Each structure stands twice: as structure tokens, then as C-alpha cells.
A and B are shown apart, each in its own frame.
Chain A
Amino acid sequence: MAENERIVPDIDKNASRCLCPGCPTHNECMKSNEERIFCSRGKTECNPEKKGCLCGTCPVEKEYGLYDFYYCVEGYAKK
């Protein structure tokens, strides 16, 4: 992973504000692995079913000027 491509830094502040844990797409597998902040850490291997995405109102997305959805499926936000 080229660090210079990643927009969102994987820091505690971002992880704590991330809305992923309350998202309907966030499934049991992701929960048991304590996965979140996919816009920074990249996609999951938990095979999620798309059930809607909270990224549009996530403070992390807003702070870093993102506009996409389903980073958990598509991968982290790139420059």
C-alpha cells in the first residue's frame, strides 16, 4: 500500500468518529474483527452485503472531503 495515496490517516481520532459500527452493512464478521474506518484501512474480507452506507454523513468523510460510499467494499479513499 503506497502511503502517499491514502487520504485518511489511520489514527485514533478518526477511528473513534467513524460511523461504520452503526452501519447496516457492518456485519457480524466485521464486528467480531473490530473492523471500521475502511476509508483509511481499506476493504474488508468479510463479504458484506450492501445494505446502505453511512459514509455520506460521517464526520471523517466530511473532514477529508470524501464523497464516495462503501469503502468497506471498494477499498480505501485514494488521492
Chain B
Amino acid sequence: MDENIEKIWWVFPRFKIERLITGLELPVNLAFVPEPTDNPSDPLLYVTELYGKIKAITNDWKVHNYAESLLNYEPNYEFPGTGESGLTGICVEPKSGDLFVSMIYEDGGDVKNKLVRLKSKDGSKMDSMEIILEDIPSIKAAHQIQAITIGFDGKLYVNLGEGMINPKVAQDDSDLRGKVLRMNLDGSIPEDNPDPDSSVFAKGFRNPFGARWRKSDKSLYISDNGPSYDDRIAKVEPGKNYGWPNSMRENSLFWINFPEGITALDFMQNGEFPFGYEDELFVAYFGGSYVKGPSIKGKKIVKMKLNEDGSAIKSYDIFASYIGQNAASPCGLAFGPGGLYFTDLHGEKNGQAHASSGNIYKISSVIKAEGEILVPYTKENFGKCLCPGCPTHNECMNNRDERLFCAGGKTECDLERKGCLCGECPVESEYGLTEFYYCDEGAAKK
């Protein structure tokens, strides 16, 4: 691990953090290609930069200028305030590799929202733009068009902020602001929408920054920023009212009363972390829009375990936290190959965000680190492991459900060596190990 990174980011035990990309200008959101190729020059992920640029990052981790000057106005770098808006949401259409992105624009002095589809021959540079949705009133103050996702049904889902000035529009069925929209990929209204004449899928949102689909219940989850109270996460279901401006709690899965500026979210659902984290929800808590140094508000990533039907949170942990001295804070977040990736928006060097110092970080499990650990930390090996019956396996380890130390590394529990079962363990024999006390000595290495 980079020594400097350890001084600015704390990460959960048994995970490590590394900086993969630097020099980005206000990187907001990340979108991985759903099924990337092995070709080094093919795209792996895309990043929206708030003031109108998109970077394509190829499998060889080279950064390409996919699109520039997408905003038709000069942003003013005011944080907090009118500099908080611009180009935000992004997703990759799985079949074509086209991008759907959301942004605001000026039209005769008015500020409006639009959603566009961008095409590229090789995925590294935009060739054409098609407008899918436009002419929706907006504001240069964050509550704009936000996350875009494509559901398991192949439809396009769009988060729209309520525009701040008149929050009541979130309850107006004829107004698209303060809603989650459901559309066909060409922008037309699907016949099976809650109202077949409207793209409104659900209403009553304030500033729904993030959105992600959960595999286990085939449902859409969004983050929504409250005013001076109640940031929330909600499972979005057709035709439901989520309450704003009367309530930020109505039909919500979870809320925090002291708001922390919740931004992007994602589920660990493709084996990027060890199996114990399967289906956990990871959420970026951004915090204030420009706060230097560590902060009580935000500047962290939180992980949560939901119950099966997504009606309650079962556990809650801080997963990463900024401990440096600058304005960096987690904003965009997405699982990708081998770990959790996130952007830090301002990065480490910005004064008031005039420099290109935003970064992309990756947090990965030490347990799953390839080329180091001999025994894979799998559910199967976990089940075969004899550690729970071992006299050295103490109450602390038991309370943490720790075992399979030959794969997962040593415990942080204090232990007294009272004998070791490893020599007769089927995991030890399967992988040709010969040592003992991995709980004390650390994982078996190649």
C-alpha cells in the first residue's frame, strides 16, 4: 500500500486501498462496462467530470478524452453553491456500449435538464450525440437530473431532482422533477409503466443522486439527499410515493437524521469481495460540498447489510474514511474488477476546484489478493475449516465468526496457543500446506 494513501484514507480491516488514476477534474460518477473484453485498448470504465468532460479508461488503464465541452455554459467553481451542478449521471448500455449521461444546460437564460445517448466507434472517443430527454426545468444547485441506470427489464431509469425552488413539483404527476422515470432506451414511454401515458415510475424525491440495481431482489435502490435532516436510501417500486416535500422517510428503507450528503451506492454482488460481503450495500457519504480535512459529516464510505426483501438494514459499518487534510471526499462509487472503486471529486490539491486533482481509488480485499494467498477464501473452504472446533479458537474469534486463517490471515483477537488442528484439516491437506497456527502467523503464502 502507498504510504501516503494510508495517511489520508482509513479502510476496513483486511482491505487495502490504492490510487489508480489521478489528474481528473471533479470526477463525479463511475460506470463500468458490463462485460468488458480482454483487449487492452477496449474500454473498461467511464468517468463523468462535473464540468462537462467524460474520460474513458481502457483495460490497460490508459485515460482517454471521450468527450469534452458538453456544457454550454461557463461553470463558476462555487462550492457550496452554483458550482455544484453540471454533468453527473452515467451508465453504459450493455449491448452497444453507448453511454447515457445526464447534465444541465442553458436555454435562453433558463437552466434545464437533459439526458443524451453518446455513441463511439471504438469506445474511447465520442462520435455522436442523440438527445433522449430535454427541456425539463432545472437549477445550478445540485437538485438536477442525476443517476441513470438500465434495469433488469432493459428499461432506462432516470433520477430527477426536484429543482429546489419549488419542491411541491415532486408531488405533481404532470411534472417530471422529483421523480424516478422509466423509459425505453429511445426515450419513449413503455406501455407497462404505472401510468402508460407517463414516464413517471415513482415520485416524491428531492435530490436522488445515486441509483443501483440489486440482483438478489431485482430491485432499484436510490440515494436521496435531505435538507437539514434525513438523507435516505429507498427501494424504488412502481407507482409509489416517497413523500417529499412532506417527508424524507415515507417508503424509505433507511434514513440518517443528521444528513451526510449521500451520493453514489452499489451492491457487492459479483464476487469482488470475499463471500461474507455478498449482497452488502456500499454507500458514499460525501458530506459538505467543500470541506477540508476529516469531517463528522460525510467523507466516508459506509457498508450495510440488508434483509432479503430489502425492507430493513441488518448491519452498518464505516468501510472507508478520509483522514487527510484536503477537500477529497467519496462521490462516485462502483464495484468493478476485483474491488470497489470510487472518485474523490476535489482530490488532494484543489483550492476551490480549479485544478485537475481528482482521483479514482480502488479498495480491494487482502484476502482475495491474487498471487499472494495460497488458499482461496471460498464458502466451500470456510465450511471445511476445522478452526471453530480448535482449542485455540477463542470467544473473540467466535464472536467475529473468524476462521480459515490460512486463507484470511491472522486474527486481531488476542490468543493463547492451546494446540492447532491445522495439521489434520482437510483444507490444509487439499492445498498441500504443512504449517500450523495460521491464526497467529498469518495466511499461507505462495
Contacts and interface: CB of A to CB of B under 8 A. Distances in A.
B437 A52 contact: no
B239 interface: no
Interface in A57-71: 57-58, 69-70
A56 B422 contact: yes
A70 B424 CA distance: 9
A9 to B, nearest CB: 21
Nearest to B425: A52
Interface string B405-436: 00000000000011111111100000000001
Contact of B419 (A51, A58, A69): A58
A51 B422 contact: no
Interface in A33-59: 51-58
B80 to A, nearest CB: 59
Contact of A56 (B389, B391, B423): B423
Given A55-B423, A56-B436, A23 B417 contact: no
Contacts of B386: 24, 51-52
A23 B389 CA distance: 8
B129 interface: no
B424 A22 contact: no
Given A56-B436, A57-B436, A57-B437, A24 B389 contact: yes
A19 interface: yes
B120 to A, nearest CB: 58
A53 B421 contact: yes
A52 B424 contact: yes
A58 B386 CA distance: 17
A24 B419 CA distance: 11
Given A52-B425, A70-B424, A57 B389 contact: no
Contacts of B437: 57
A58 B437 CA distance: 12
Interface residues of B, number: 15
Contacts of B423: 53, 55-57, 69
B390 interface: yes
A51 B420 contact: no
B interface, over-half SS: loop
B418 A51 contact: no
A69 B421 CA distance: 10
Given A24-B390, A24-B391, A57-B437, A19 B424 contact: no
Nearest to A52: B421
Contact of A23 (B391, B422, B436): B391
Nearest to A55: B423
Given A52-B389, A52-B425, A56-B424, A22 B436 contact: no
A55 to B, nearest CB: 7
A58 B419 CA distance: 7
Given A69-B424, A70-B424, A54 B419 contact: yes
B433 to A, nearest CB: 11
Nearest to A56: B423
Given A57-B417, A57-B423, A58-B419, A52 B390 contact: yes
Give the residue among B390, B419, B423 with the most A Cβ atoms within 10 A.
B419
Interface of B: 386, 389-391, 417-425, 436-437
Interface of A: 19, 22-24, 51-58, 69-70
30 contacts: A19-B419, A22-B418, A22-B419, A23-B391, A23-B419, A24-B386, A24-B389, A24-B391, A24-B421, A51-B386, A52-B389, A52-B424, A52-B425, A53-B423, A53-B424, A54-B391, A54-B419, A54-B420, A55-B423, A56-B420, A56-B421, A56-B422, A56-B423, A56-B424, A56-B436, A57-B417, A57-B419, A57-B437, A58-B419, A69-B423
Given A53-B421, A56-B420, A57-B419, 4 more contacts: A19-B419, A52-B390, A57-B417, A57-B423
